[in-house]
A and B are shown apart, each in its own frame.
Chain A
């Protein structure tokens, strides 16, 4: 064996993990531990970014971070070894610094996998196939865990039983607070063969379009999904009869998901809408006065949305019942004020969330909003940044939309839809004047709030907008 591949059998490889269905490579963002530092199994070890999200990878075993191979900013194909842990007490890696074969950077050229330890004499992973032990597969099958989303700590990145058990435990923890993952209520109809292939390849069945009878998912559907053809659907998927003049385009995963969520929201939550036209003269004057000062002081550009977030946060503090969520036969109550801001991105509608807006000052809100929206546009939002929202603001004011009623963002019970701020005729003291107003529409889930509760909230909010000084109270 060459010097570069002499590895003690006590080494644990840290591998660029497969975090999602179509993930082929990941970028090292930051190591959260230093070389020589002791690491516990399960502790966050390194931050990895994919085209969808930034995630923290946990240490696969107890040990000392013996060597960092993948440097921040470098991108590697999945399965590449990016670091090594050594079991405590072991002499350690015979890798000479510098002679270690540099892990392949992702050029658009042939990439060589890092020589693995003598222990992992496994055949190369088939592209797209999840390597998992039979025990891991069984537990995943029994517990309804998608193998492709589980990071493996076994040799060569193999998913082993305890990885799946961890995933199960996490699933149980994160489920109550508005999980990001769309859990389709109805069982996804799929053939056993399709289920097996889906499990093997880590395909989320709910995201696969079924072409079998009654929308049943067949193996071919799953395979098509794996090869990414869902994004560019085969023409053979057209329904039996097309009306003349129409062509058929199957929905992308994101589209499909949005369609499902909006449909279920609209269907399950009895919406009612409260409208208000807020006088923005004071608000605009305040913003005008503050803006240059705030920019100077905090280095941020404050927008109306930022102000709305702040006002909503304050109002939600006074009306926490607006944050409740309907849950079967009861309410899930919370005081977490995590406001999501609907953003239009090349990937479709995304709603990044600013956590704990009640604890943030306006400049901080603005700063986070800036960052999140930018990330959303670049498709670099992490899972945490997209989940746990308890209230949403959707602003179409930049378009010629005067006002609109929005569909609630499930499982939230309220949503503020903001229309265009423009000069409108306003009657004041019997006189007609032109003033800047903004239209607001509050969508409310009638299972959670009645008209008056909603109205009280909206009233308070409009009051803040029209008299922003009250925010200091």
Chain B
């Protein structure tokens, strides 16, 4: 019933804290997660509270400590390794894709891998091409993994708690810009958000806007502007890509007849493509216009702000896409 507000980072920290208190198998590993409290403050105070046995500063060896986490998950722990910049997840592909994702299946169900990999995503901070990427689509493409992309502090806490109770490998993507910049209400009471449940963040009837992670925010802002024009947009946050809540997306487009999908991953073969295909298949007879996709421009992410901003979907581009979807269709 309380309405205190936490930042995105604080919500994540709180989820870790609560679950670590609840389950002693949970251990946090990563670079500077312990004594320093995490580069983005997401593990602040945990080292002091739980000690070096459970909050572990690793050497700079992503493959090493994530590989170790896989083994530890198979032998009694629930490790939570942190990939400081999601771009570095490329270094641990074998551990996640060939080992963690497949252990259970390859052994005919003998093995469980309760592993939560926390990785960051998102540009917009002039961090350059190798520190700004969003790789959630890659992992949604791997059977055996679950992929979580929260957009608000409330969702982040609820979903991370679920991940920390999940007996399967989960890749949990946290947008860097949101850590400090996005604040939102987070109840004090205990709650978990199940995977596979999209959230309709704004109801509407004229067009469906689906946005992933941080993109929810410019999408909601665009929806407000569109409302002033008499266009009521429905904004949906899938929250998890695997498992994906297809029915909610499809039902919405059946109602509105058109959709715009917004994501910070690259557009070409990005997450938007799967969502667009889901809609095209499930709501085919109800589409009144082609499905629009807005991903990051298919170029390495530039350093200088004027160029970087040109590559990331924003309110203006979203509004333009909505107009294209509604062209000649008269929403009233």
Contact = CB atoms under 8 A, between A and B. Distances in A.
Real complex partners, A and B? yes
Interface of A: 9-10, 12, 41, 60-61, 119-120, 133-138, 152-155, 158, 160-162
Contacts of A135: 257, 285-288
B286 A134 contact: yes
Interface stretch (B18-26, B161-169, B262-270, B319-327): B319-327
A117 B60 CA distance: 52
A472 B108 CA distance: 103
A158 B330 CA distance: 13
Contacts of A137: 285
A138 B289 CA distance: 13
A153 B257 contact: no
Interface string B251-291: 00000010000000000000000000000000011111100
B285, B289, B324, B329 pick with most chain A CB within 10 angstroms: B329
B109 interface: no
Interface in B298-332: 320, 323-324, 327-330
Given A135-B257, A153-B329, A162-B330, A9 B324 contact: yes
Nearest to A166: B330
Contact of B323 (A9, A133, A158): A9
Interface in B138-154: none
B2 to A, nearest CB: 44
A160 B323 contact: no
B329 A161 contact: yes
A152 B328 CA distance: 8
Contacts of A60: 328, 330
Given A134-B285, A135-B288, A161 B327 contact: no
A136 B320 contact: no
10 contacts: A10-B323, A12-B328, A60-B328, A134-B284, A134-B285, A135-B257, A138-B285, A152-B328, A155-B324, A160-B328
B328 A161 contact: no
B288 A160 contact: yes
Nearest to B324: A119
B277 to A, nearest CB: 15
Listed from nearest, the 10 A-B pairs whose CB atoms lie closest are: A154-B328, A153-B328, A135-B288, A138-B285, A133-B288, A119-B324, A160-B329, A161-B288, A134-B287, A155-B327
Contacts of A155: 324, 327-328
B289 A133 contact: yes
B284, B285, B288, B328 pick with most chain A CB within 10 angstroms: B328
Contacts of B328: 12, 60-61, 152-155, 158, 160
B320 A9 contact: yes
A123 to B, nearest CB: 12
Contacts of B323: 9-10, 119
B222 to A, nearest CB: 14
A153 B285 CA distance: 19
A160 B288 CA distance: 6
A119 B325 CA distance: 9
A61 B286 contact: no
A119, A137, A153 pick with most chain B CB within 10 angstroms: A119
A152 B285 CA distance: 17
Contact of A160 (B284, B289, B320, B324): B289
B286 A138 contact: yes
A124 B327 CA distance: 18
A136 B289 CA distance: 10
Nearest to B319: A9
Contacts of B327: 12, 119-120, 154-155
A154 B329 contact: yes
Contacts of A162: 329-330
B57 to A, nearest CB: 52
A10 B330 CA distance: 13
Contacts of A41: 330
A160 B289 CA distance: 8
A217 to B, nearest CB: 24
Nearest to A60: B328
B327 to A, nearest CB: 5
Contacts of A138: 285-286
B250 to A, nearest CB: 13
A41 B284 CA distance: 27
Contacts of B289: 133, 154, 160
Contact of A153 (B284, B286, B287, B330): B330
A160 B284 CA distance: 14
Nearest to A161: B288
Contacts of B286: 134-135, 138
B288 A136 contact: yes
A472 B323 CA distance: 63
Contacts of A9: 320, 323-324
A161 B324 CA distance: 15
A41 B327 CA distance: 13
Nearest to A152: B328
Given A60-B328, A138-B285, 8 more contacts: A9-B324, A61-B328, A133-B288, A134-B284, A134-B286, A152-B328, A153-B329, A154-B327
A91 to B, nearest CB: 14
A9 B328 CA distance: 12
Contacts of B257: 133, 135, 161
A12 B323 CA distance: 11
A153 B332 CA distance: 14
A83 B323 CA distance: 19
A453 to B, nearest CB: 49
B287 A61 contact: no
Interface in B57-89: none
B208 to A, nearest CB: 13
Contacts of B329: 153-154, 160-162
Contacts of B288: 133-136, 154, 160-161
A41, A60, A134, A152 pick with most chain B CB within 10 angstroms: A134
Contacts of A12: 327-328
B284, B285, B330 pick with most chain A CB within 10 angstroms: B330
Nearest to A119: B324
A60 B330 CA distance: 8
Contacts of B284: 134
A170 to B, nearest CB: 15
B114 to A, nearest CB: 44
A9, A10, A41, A120 pick with most chain B CB within 10 angstroms: A9
B26 to A, nearest CB: 48
A10 B322 CA distance: 11
A288 B324 CA distance: 67
A461 B129 CA distance: 93
Nearest to B325: A119
A115 to B, nearest CB: 16
B223 to A, nearest CB: 18
A154 B327 CA distance: 6
A120 B323 CA distance: 12
B164 to A, nearest CB: 43
A155 B327 CA distance: 6
Contacts of A136: 288
